[in-house]
């Protein structure tokens, strides 16, 4: 894996595109991403449905979460993002909302010049299934 050489200028929010209530952990996504040919999990942080923040890829290493932006961004994902029939939906639990807000605020303190974005701003996807830029505009 390559370490960052550029300054972090973006914090990009994702969802795992899994049905509401189906919990995953960083170890699960690591296994899935390796099956797809990644070295390890592509996200730097994962917020589980109970609001736990799990470390994914070490934050000093370039992520694999947003094509064209990985070399300057931190990737954060929450577990969920779809209904049972796989339609995009903001499925965040209250615990996830609190944990995600706290994590994004901490990342903004760590990377004060970074802007906050939803993955959908850079890819033709609904991910993260809520307006991350608007939700975190005051951070």
Check if the beta carbon of residue 15 is closer than 8 Å to that of residue 81.
Answer: yes
Is 14 in the active site?
yes
The secondary structure element, H or E, covering residue 116 is strand 115-118
Distance CA(51)–CA(61), nearest Å, equals: 24
Is 125 in the active site?
yes
Catalytically annotated residue among 32, 111, 125, 133: 125
Catalytically annotated residue among 14, 33, 65, 117: 14
Catalytically annotated residue among 15, 33, 43, 65: 43
Residue 118 main-chain phi, psi, to 5 deg: -90, 150
Is 127 in the active site?
yes
Catalytically annotated residue among 65, 119, 129, 136: 119
Catalytically annotated residue among 15, 66, 120, 127: 127
Strand, helix or coil for residue 71: helix
Distance CA(92)–CA(90), nearest Å, equals: 6
User: Which residues carry out catalysis?
Assistant: 14, 43, 119, 125, 127
């Amino acid at each position: 894996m390559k370490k960052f050489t550029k300054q972090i200028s973006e914090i990009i929010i994702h969802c795992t595109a899994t049905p509401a209530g189906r919990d995953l952990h960083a170890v699960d996504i690591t296994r899935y991403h390796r099956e797809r040919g990644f070295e390890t999990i592509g996200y730097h942080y994962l917020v589980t449905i109970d609001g736990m923040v799990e470390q994914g890829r070490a934050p000093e290493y370039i992520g694999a979460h947003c094509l064209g932006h990985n070399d300057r961004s931190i990737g954060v994902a929450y577990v969920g993002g779809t209904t049972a029939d796989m339609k995009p939906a903001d499925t965040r639990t209250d615990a996830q909302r609190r944990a995600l807000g706290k994590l994004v605020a901490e990342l903004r303190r760590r990377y004060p010049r970074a802007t906050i974005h939803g993955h959908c701003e850079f890819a033709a996807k609904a991910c993260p299934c809520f307006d991350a830029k608007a939700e975190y505009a005051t951070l």
